[in-house]
Amino acid sequence: MKRLLCTIAAAALPLGAATAQDAYVIGVSGAMTGPVAANYAPVVEAMKAYLDHVNARGGVNGRQLRVLVLDDQAQPSRAATNAKQLLVQDKVVMLLNASLSSTYAPMIAESKRAGVPLYYAGAVCPKETYPPADPLQFCSTAFGANLDSQAALAFIKRNSKDSVRLGLAAMAIPIARAEIDYAEGLSKTLGMTPVEKQISPPPAPDYTPFATKLKDANPTWVWSWSPWVSQVRVFEAMRRLGWNGRYVTWAHLNAEEELARIRDGEFYVIGTNAFMEDNLPIHAEIRAVAARAKLDYPVSYLTEGFVAGLVVESVLRNTPWPPTPQKVLAAMNNVKVDMKGLRGGPLEWTKDNHFRTRQHYRVWRWDPQGGRIVRAQDWQAIEVKR
Amino acid sequence: MQLAVNILVLASIYALICCGYVLIYRVSRVLSLAHGELMMLGAYGLYATASLFSGHPLIALAAAGALALAVGVAVYFALMWRMTGESVLAAVLATIALGILLRGAMILMFGTQTQHPLRDLGWTNGSLEVGAARISAVGLALILSTALVYGGLALFLRATRWGIRMRAAGQHPLLAAQRGIGLHGIYALAWGLATFTGGLAGMLIACDAGLESTLVIIGLKAFPAALVGGLDSLVGALVGSLVVAAAEVVLIHYVDPLLSDVVPFVILLAMLVVRPWGLFGTREELDRV
C-alpha cells in the first residue's frame, strides 16, 4: 500500500510541474487569517476569483493563470518564509503582498534578492511606489498617504461656508498617525483651525473617553484616517455625546455596508473605488463571479480585489511567453489598465511612478430623506507628482 | 460629570471581565489565559442566537447566557478536569492552548467580518442624559450588569450552600474534599460562572462596538485590573478596575490619549513592587503560587 502511494506521488510530481510550466504563476502572501484578516482576505479572494474567471474564458495569451496564496497572519516571519517558498520553490514571476506593513521589509528583501517585482494589492502603498519609484515595488491599493488628506480637506473646504474648526482622529499605528499629522499641518495652510487630535490605541474597550475630548473641542468637521473600527467608533461615540458636526472618513472595503448601517446624513466617506450602488456593467460581472466562486463576503467588499485582478490580467497580457520576472517587470513599468468604471480613470504605471499618475476621489453619504447612499462629490482628480 | 460616567463605564467593562479571572483563580488556583477567547466566544454565541431567535431579543440573550455557562462547564470537564493535581504551570499552558484553538475555530466558523449583534437583536444603542453627562444605552447596561453580577455573586458566595462550598474549596481544597464537597462539581461551576460573566462582557462590548477578533485583546487589557485588585478577591477586582479605568480616562482627557495604553501596566508594575498580592489579595496565596 505504501509503495502504491509512493508511486502515485512520484507520478504526480512531473504532472504538477508541467502544469506550472504551462501557466503564468504568481504568488501572494496575505493576512488570510488573524486579527486583521477582514481587511485583506476579501481582496485576495476576490482577485483569485476574478483570475479564475479569466482562466474560464481561456486565460491570458492562451495560457492559464496560476495564483498561489499563502497565509502570513500579518506576521513578518511568516511573510519571509512565504516569500522564500514562492520565489525559490514555486518560481513565481510576480510576488504580491496583501498584509500589514510590518510584513513589507522581509518581502522586499526576498523580492530584491530574486529580482522579482513585488506588487501591493490591498496593502497600504509604501512611499517607495510613489515617484521616483523603487524599481521593483508597485501598488494599486485605493488609499494613498497624503493624497487622501489633500482630497478630504479640499472637500471640507468646498463644503464650508464658515471657518472650519477641524478635529482629527486616528488609531495609534504609525501610518495613521503620520497621515493625521500631515493633515494637521495641511489644514493650517488651507486656513482651517485644527482644534483637537485624538489618537486611540488599537483596540480600545470604549471609545467614549477619546470622543469626549474631541467633542469638547467643538469641531465643526472631523477628519479621520485609520482602520475602520477606529474611524467609526469615535464617530458613533461622538454622536452619542451629542455632537452634531460633520465627519469625513476613509472608505474602507466595508464602507458601503456601513453607511447603510449608520444612516447618518453628516457622516461622509471619501474613497477612490466606485460603490456597487453605481450598478455598472462590471458590477454585474463582480456579482456573477462572486456567486460562482461562492465568496463569503458581501459583494461590496470585492472591488479592491477586482482592481488587483484587472491589473494582474493586464500586466500578464503584456508579458510575452515564456514569462520571466524581467518580462513581467517591463510590462509593469508601462501599463495602463482600464478600470471599467471601478475608479475615476485608468490605473497607469510608468518607469518612474508605480503608484498611479492620477488619483480620483469620490465622496458618499447616507441620504436620510431618500433612505439610500448618495454621492456628495463626484470624481475629483489629483495629479500624483514627485 | 462626563468624565465620571466614562470612568464608570470603562470600570464596568474591566470589572465584568476581571470577574472571570478572579473566580477561576480563587476557586481552583488556575490562571485562565483563555479568558479573552471565551469572552469572544460568548459574544459570537449572542451573534448566533440573535440570528436563530430573530425577533425575540430577550430569548436570544438568555440563550446566549446559558450557552456561555454551558461552554464554561464543558471546558472544565473536557480539559481542565485532567489538569487536577498537575502543576499550576501545566494548567496555565493548557488554557493558552485552549485560547489558540478557540481563536482559530471562531475564525473558521464565523469568518473575519465585523458583526453587529445589537442590530441583529433589532435594538439600537441610543443615548441617555444623566445630569450634565450622556451615557449610551449599552454603557448603562454594562454598569447595571456589573452591579447585578457582583451583587449576585456576593449573595451566592455568602448565602447559598453551593457558594459556601465554593469558598471552602477555594480556601482549603483538601479539607473541603474530606468534608464531602465534590471538588469537580465546584470547579466546573466556577468555570461556568467565569465564562458566563466573561461572555456577558463580550456580548455587551460587541453590542456597543461591533464584534471582531480584536475582542480577545480587550480581554487581556482587563488583566492588569485583576492583578492590581488582587487575583483572589472579587472586591479587589472591582476596586482595581475602578483605579485602572480612572487613571486611563483622566490621562486621555488631561494628558495624552496614547498614555491610556500604557498606564494600566505602569500601575500594575508599581503594585507589583509595593504590594505584589494586590490591593485586596491574600499574601499567603501568592506565596503558594
Which residues sit opposite A167 in a β-bridge?
A: A196, A222
Give tens-digit pLDDT for B45-57: 999 999 999 889 9
Asked if B276 contacts B286 with a C-beta cutoff of 8 angstroms, the reply is yes
Q: Per-residue pLDDT tens, chain A, 386 aa: give them.
A: 444 444 444 444 444 443 556 899 999 999 998 878 888 999 999 999 999 999 999 999 999 999 999 999 999 999 999 999 999 999 999 999 999 888 999 999 999 999 999 999 999 999 999 999 999 999 999 989 899 999 999 999 999 998 999 999 999 888 899 999 999 999 999 999 999 999 998 888 999 999 999 999 999 999 999 989 999 999 999 999 999 999 999 999 999 999 999 999 999 999 999 999 889 999 999 999 999 999 988 899 999 999 999 999 999 999 999 999 999 999 999 999 999 999 999 999 999 999 999 999 999 999 999 999 999 999 999 999 86
CA distances from B203 to B34, B110, B130, B147, B167 (A): 16, 15, 24, 16, 28
Contact B65, B46 (CB under 8 A): no
- Residue A21: what pLDDT? 65
Alpha helices for chain B (secondary structure H):
2-28, 35-52, 57-78, 88-110, 117-121, 137-159, 161-171, 173-178, 183-209, 215-221, 223-229, 234-254, 263-274, 283-288
3 state DSSP class of A315? helix
Report the distance separating Cα A188 and Cα A218, nearest Å. 17
pLDDT at position B258 is 87
Is the pLDDT reported for residue B85 higher than 90? no
**Residue B95's CB: how many other CB atoms inside 10 A?**
21
Q: Does B130 touch chain A (CB under 8 A)?
A: no
Kindly report the nearest CA distance between residue A136 and chain B, in angstroms. 31
pLDDT at A10: 44
Say yes or no for a CB contact (<8 Å) between B252 and A213.
yes
Sign of CA dihedral A240, A245, A250, A255: positive
Angle at A284 between CA A280 and CA A288, to 5 degrees: 160
The reply to whether A2-142+278-359 and A147-276+361-383 are identical in fold is yes
* Chain A partners within 8 Å of B104 (Cβ): 33
Residue A5: predicted pLDDT: 42
What band does B213 get if pLDDT is binned at 50, 70 and 90? Answer: confident
Nearest to B216 by CA among B230, B207, B206: B206
> CB contacts < 8 Å between A and B, how many?
101
Which of B10, B127, B223, B252 to mutate to test binding with chain A, by most A CBs within 10 Å of its CB? B252
Q: Report the C-alpha gap between B264 and B245 in whole angstroms.
A: 8
Q: Could you give the percent of chain B with pLDDT greater than 90?
A: 75
- Residue pointed to by grid coordinates 453590542: B207
Residue of A nearest to B17 (CA): A205
User: Which pLDDT score is estimated for B286?
Assistant: 54
3-state SS, residue A267: strand
Q: What is the pLDDT of residues B20-37, one digit of tens each?
A: 999 999 998 889 999 999
Burial class (CB in 10 A: 0-12, 13-18, 19+), B26: buried
Q: Give Cβ neighbours of residue B116 (< 8 Å, ≥ 6 apart).
A: A261, B210, B211
> Do residue A201 and residue B127 have CB atoms under 8 angstroms apart?
no
Cell of A306: 477586482
Segments making up each domain of chain B, as ranges: 2-216
- For the segment(s) A147-276+361-383, the CATH number from 1.10.3760.10, 3.20.20.240, 3.40.50.2300, 3.40.50.1100 is 3.40.50.2300
pLDDT band at B285 (very low <50, low <70, confident <90, very high): low
Q: Which of A171, A206, A214, A238 to mutate to test the interface with B (most CBs of B within 10 A)?
A: A206
Question: CB distance B213–A241 less than 8 Å?
Answer: no
pLDDT band at B84 (very low <50, low <70, confident <90, very high): confident
Tell which residue, A217, A123, A122, has the closest CA to residue A169. A217
3-state helix vs strand vs coil in chain A, percent to 5: 45, 20, 35
- Per DSSP bridges, beta strands A193-200 and A267-271 are unpaired
pLDDT at A37: 86
CATH fold of A2-142+278-359, please?
Rossmann fold (3.40.50)
What count of other Cβ atoms lies within 10 Å of the Cβ of residue A154? 17
Q: How close B186 gets to chain A, by Cα (Å)?
A: 31
Give SS3 for A70.
strand
- Closest in A37, A201, A204 to B112, CB measured: A37
What mean pLDDT comes out for the span B38-67?
Answer: 95
Question: How does the average pLDDT of chain B come out, rounded?
Answer: 92
Question: Which residues share a beta bridge with A95?
Answer: A27, A118
Top-confidence range, B38-42, B113-117, B214-218 = B38-42
The confidence score (pLDDT) of residue B119 equals 93
Residue given cell 514569462 in the structure block:
A323
Other beta carbons within 10 angstroms of residue B185's beta carbon come to 15
Do A38 and B112 meet the contact criterion of CB atoms below 8 Å apart? yes
pLDDT at B112: 79
For residue B205, the chain A residues in CB contact (below 8 A) are 205
pTM score of the predicted model: 0.89
With beta carbons less than 8 A apart as the criterion, state whether B225 and B14 touch: yes
Mean pLDDT for B202-227 is 91
B97-106 burial: b if 16+ Cβ within 10 Å, else e: ebbeebbeeb
Residues of chain B contacting A208 with CB distance shorter than 8 Å: 6, 9, 136, 139
Residue of A nearest to B254 (CA): A213
Q: Is A38 on the interface with B (CB under 8 A)?
A: yes
Return the residue of A nearest to B222 by Cα. Answer: A205
Distance CA B144, CA B128 (A): 14
* B139 Cβ under 8 Å from any chain A Cβ: yes
Grid coordinates representing A298 are 458581501
pLDDT tens-digit map of B238-284: 999 999 999 999 999 999 988 988 999 999 999 999 999 999 988 76
Delimit the domains of chain A by residue range.
Answer: 2-142+278-359, 147-276+361-383
Buried b (16+ CB within 10 A) or exposed e, B50-79: beebeeebeebbebbbebbbebbbebbeeb
